[in-house]
Chain A
Amino acid sequence: MTDETASNQSASPIKRFALLWAVIPFLVLAAAISWLFATNPLRSFENGAPPVENLTYERTILDNAGLRLLIRAGGSEPLKIAQVQVDAAYWQFTLDPPGPLARGQTAWIAIPFPWVLGEAHRVTVVTGTGATFEHEIPVAVPTPEVTSGSLLSQGILGAFVGILPVAIGLMFFPALRGAGPGAMRFLLALTVGLLAFLLVDAVAESFELAGKSAPVFQGGAMVVFAASASFLLLMAVSRRGGKPGGMALATYIAIGIGLHNMGEGLAIGGAFAAGSAGLGAFLVMGFTLHNITEGIGIAAPLLKIRPTFRQFVLLTLIAGGPAVLGMWIGSLAYAPHWSALALAVGAGAILQVIIEVILFMIRNDEGRADILFSKGVMGGLALGIALMYVTAMLVKI
């Protein structure tokens, strides 16, 4: 008791002292920065080399007025857009906002270019130093305008590739209910297999998109840490109420799949907005088949309980709905870093459910970890991955 009082008394001068030392480092930093700018002690490093420049294309819009491109500047000094070529010819353009672009700043370039439907065009920006930055429009089609009609048709498409297959997958539930412990183990392993496929796919794709995004976002680090954060967050949330099983586990699987579908939806919506994607019935069918496996995965942990119809609908919406949402957002405001971020978050969520499903399998078999290497589990894993891989062949371009 007396010790505590003593420490409380001495605390206030110590705290004040500590506070002072929380300020001093900032003062030193401010002094260093002002010295750097005032006296330029680094001038011996100025070797006459031109500034490092970077430019990233984030959106492309083709409409009545020609082409419009959203660009983001990067580099060591403000970027001057001097001239713009389309297909190796200089075209008049307007820059909005005009003038040099600061690091990380975005601007719209509008070019009154008579683009040709269904053909490819190449835009090249020439900066004040003569550096060039190219952007390819692989297939010129008018960018869908955002109307209630286009949002509705995108919603229907999203439902077709996101919600419908999950619902169909869940419809296997009654058929799977009678499964014995061996079949149950097999189905859970199949779920892990399909999730593993999605994890690899999401990570690969988010790194790819991160590579296309502006360097200021540091795509690689962004993907890794966004995935880690979502993994840890979902892990912490799911463990609050004990080890998840049954409906809770199914919900987390649905969340993971949903986040993944959201990232995919963003990319698809963005592809439409960029005019670079067309969609055939064959492709839609491929996506639908591919995603049915996801529905079976969600159903697997539910086999020992009796969920209500309403719960099934909710699970379907959680897993499939984000595809619709992603498509809308993607077509309205697409940039590669958003898709990369959404896919990274999805990857973290998928990793969380993979771990939870494996732990659930072990608990289901009286804590025997050795069942993980049984023929049934290995077979389920292989089948899950194979199903996803083969159906993905339908849509890989």
Chain B
Amino acid sequence: MRNWLPFDLGRRKLLGAGLAAAGGAAIAARSALSQDVSSQHQGHQMPATANGTGDAAPLHMQAHGAMITVGDVDDARNGFDPTAMLTDWDLGTLSTLPDGRRLRTYEVEVEDKEIEIAPGVMFPAWTFNGRVPGPSLRAMEGDRLRIILRNYGSHPHSMHFHGIHAARMDGVPGAGVIGPGEEFVYEFDARPFGCHLYHCHALPLARHIHKGMYGLFVIDPDPEKHPEFRDVALGRLRGSPENARWQELAMVMNAFDTNFDGENEFYACNTIAHCYAKKPIRIAKSRPVRIYLANLTEFDPINSFHLHGNFFDYYDQGTTLTPTLKTVDLIVQCQAQRGILEFTFGEHADHEPGLYMFHAHQSEFTELGWMGMFEVVEDVA
């Protein structure tokens, strides 16, 4: 007798009566299953609409059924919280140079750290300041920047900034890659303004990026240098009254290959799979939103950002004060590409409060964790 186990699709015509009988049962099975899911929805709807935040997961389930990671990540053990990370900018320590210019000093420490990247899944990361992505550094155009890097990790590391700087400050081998226990100071002027990033440029590059060594590096425009777009520049400048009405969010699209086979098992925005699906980002309907978005996904050539129920203006690399793409609901970024997204839920009557999804529009990435929700509310207390 033969082994019947492997099944060739070409053989399916042989299935005959057995499969036909099975079909009936399966149709019955499916209708039973869908009833089950819809009854679940009703069960969750009652508490969900009451106040929003606490009942996020059931609300999400309404949209995607049972397709989500199970459980919650221990943010306290990780030492970082993806929701807090959205608005946690590192502005450095301010001082004045003898020539009167402003100096910003940042301190960054490298640390090997096991982090929980999805509920119950630990990943041996290499981190800047104990978090992935690393701190979102922010400065103003023209500031003198001094970044002190201390390597407490087990491998050589560096910070390679996407910006204008001297070859000595490039963070590549021979120019700022430092061994364990060493320290290096990167120094350069903050320019050009825009939404930039930094990452470790020690070799092999793919391994150092994939392990979590990257972060946002945002340079706000100096309004005095852009008289023709002074208001726009003021709106971008962190700390100005014009900037205060903006709801600014720092987002890094990343992914993790937990079994080291060169393909990612988990995709996310800010490291934790499904974090903003389970705990939606609250957005005040009346105030505009600005997202500083960078793609640091390793192993996949591109990533993308799609917003539901709305369109946005996009500033590729953030180096212009007028949009490079107007009125789009999807942008694509290759690795290290980044940009600024601006939109509002305050202009159209159709934008009632509720959950508006955002995700990569590669279904695979979405379903492996890179999906979240904006919870638009009338007013944020």
Which of the 9-residue segments B13-21, B219-227, B287-295, B322-330 touches chain A?
Answer: B13-21
Contact of A291 among B1, B36, B119 (CB under 8 A): B1
CB distance from B313 to the nearest CB of A (A): 32
- When the two chains form their complex, are residues A139 and B7 in contact, meaning their CB atoms are under 8 A apart? yes
Residue of A nearest to B366 (CB): A89
A283 at the interface (CB under 8 A from B): yes
Tell me whether B2 and A392 are in contact (CB under 8 A).
yes
Give the distance in Å from the alpha carbon of A126 to the alpha carbon of B116 in the complex: 13
The answer to whether B5 touches A278, judged by C-beta atoms less than 8 angstroms apart, is no
Q: What A residues does B34 contact at CB under 8 A?
A: 114
Q: Quick check: B121 and A114 within 8 Å, CB to CB? A: no
Q: How far is the CA of A396 from the CA of B118 in the complex (A)?
A: 44
Q: Which residue of B lies closest to A396 (CB)?
A: B2
B59 → chain A closest CB, angstroms: 15
Say whether, besides A130-B122, A280-B16, A281-B16, A91 and B67 are in contact (CB < 8 Å).
yes
- Expressed in whole angstroms, the Cα–Cα distance for A133 and B356 within the complex equals 34
Cα A282 to Cα B13 in complex, Å, equals 11
A361 within 8 A of B: no
Known: A90-B67, A132-B258, A278-B14. A83 touches B33 (CB 8 A): no
Establish whether residues A208 and B3, one from each chain, have CB atoms under 8 Å apart when the complex forms.
yes
In the docked arrangement, what's the CA distance between A201 and B2, Å?
Answer: 9
Give the shortest distance, in Å, between B1 (CB) and chain A (any CB): 4
The answer on a CB contact under 8 Å between A397 and B7 is: yes
Contacts of B28 in A (CB 8 A): 64
Contacts of A260 in B (CB 8 A): 1
A85 in the interface (beta carbon within 8 A): yes
CB of B33 within 8 A of CB of A287, answer no
A277→B265 contact, CB < 8 A? no
20 A-B pairs (CB sep. < 8 Å): A64-B28, A65-B33, A82-B120, A83-B118, A85-B368, A88-B367, A89-B364, A92-B68, A111-B66, A112-B65, A117-B26, A117-B27, A128-B121, A131-B258, A131-B259, A278-B15, A283-B14, A290-B1, A396-B3, A397-B7
The listed residue (A83, A85, A139, A278) touching B120 by CB distance below 8 A is A83
Chain B, residue nearest A279 (CB): B18
Known: A63-B29, A91-B68, A93-B70. 11 other contacts (CB 8 A): A64-B29, A83-B70, A88-B364, A88-B367, A89-B364, A89-B368, A117-B22, A142-B25, A267-B4, A279-B18, A291-B1
Interface residues of A (CB under 8 A from B): 62-66, 80-85, 88-93, 111-114, 117-118, 126-132, 138-139, 141-142, 161, 201, 205, 208, 260-261, 264, 267-268, 271, 274, 276-283, 286-287, 290-291, 392, 395-397
Taking A64-B33, A118-B19 as contacts, is the C-beta distance between A267 and B3 under 8 angstroms?
Answer: yes
Q: What is the CA–CA distance of A395 and B6 in the complex, to the nearest angstrom?
A: 12
Q: Which are the 5 A-B pairs with shortest beta-carbon distances?
A: A130-B258, A280-B14, A89-B367, A82-B120, A278-B15
Contact status of A278 and B19, CB under 8 A, knowing A139-B12, A141-B26, A395-B2: yes
Residues on A with beta carbons closer than 8 Å to the beta carbon of B70 = 83-84, 90, 92-93
Of A82, A90, A117, A279, most buried by chain B (CB within 10 Å of CB) is A90
Most chain A CB within 10 A, of B3, B25, B67, B69, is at B3
A115 CB to closest chain B CB, in angstroms?
8
B256 at the interface (CB under 8 A from A): yes
Instruction: Give chain B interface residues in 359-380, CB to chain A under 8 Å.
Output: 364, 367-369
Is B166 on the interface with A (CB-CB < 8 A)?
no
- Asked if residues B4 and A397 are in contact (CB atoms below 8 Å), the reply is yes
Do residues B22 and A83 form an inter-chain contact, with CB atoms below 8 A? no
| A278 touching B12, Cβ below 8 Å | yes
> Chain B: residues with CB nearer than 8 A to chain A?
1-9, 11-16, 18-19, 22-23, 25-30, 32-34, 36-37, 65-70, 118-123, 256, 258-259, 261, 265, 273-274, 364, 367-369
Shortest Cβ distance from residue B43 to the other chain A in the assembled complex, whole angstroms: 14
Evaluate whether A83 and B30 lie within 8 angstroms (CB atoms) in the complex, with A139-B7, A277-B5, A278-B14 already known: no
A81 → B minimal CB distance (Å)? 8
Knowing A114-B30, A114-B33, A117-B22, the reply to whether A82 touches B16 (Cβ < 8 A) is no
- In whole Å, how far is B112's beta carbon from the nearest beta carbon of chain A? 10
**B residues in contact with A92, CB < 8 Å:** 66-68, 70
Write out the residue numbers on chain B whose beta carbons fall within 8 Å of the beta carbon of A208.
Answer: 3
Contact A83 B121 (CB under 8 A): yes
CB distance from B22 to the nearest CB of A (A): 4
- Contact (Cβ within 8 A) B11 A397: yes
Q: With the chains together, A89 CA to B66 CA distance in Å?
A: 10
Closest residue to A291 on the B side, CB-wise? B1
Q: Are A64 and B66 in contact (CB under 8 A)?
A: no
Q: Could you tell me if A397 and B8 are in contact, using CB atoms closer than 8 angstroms?
A: yes
Among A91, A128, A264, contact of B122 (Cβ-Cβ < 8 Å): A128
Contacts of A290 in B (CB 8 A): 1
CB distance from B264 to the nearest CB of A (A): 10
A271 partner residues in chain B, CB cutoff 8 A: 4-5
Q: How far is the CA of A141 from the CA of B25 in the complex (A)?
A: 9
Contacts of A128 in B (CB 8 A): 120-122
CA distance A84 to B25 in the complex (A): 26
A278 and B6 contact, Cβ closer than 8 Å, known pairs A82-B118, A287-B1, A290-B1: no
Contact between A126 and B121, CB atoms less than 8 A apart:
yes
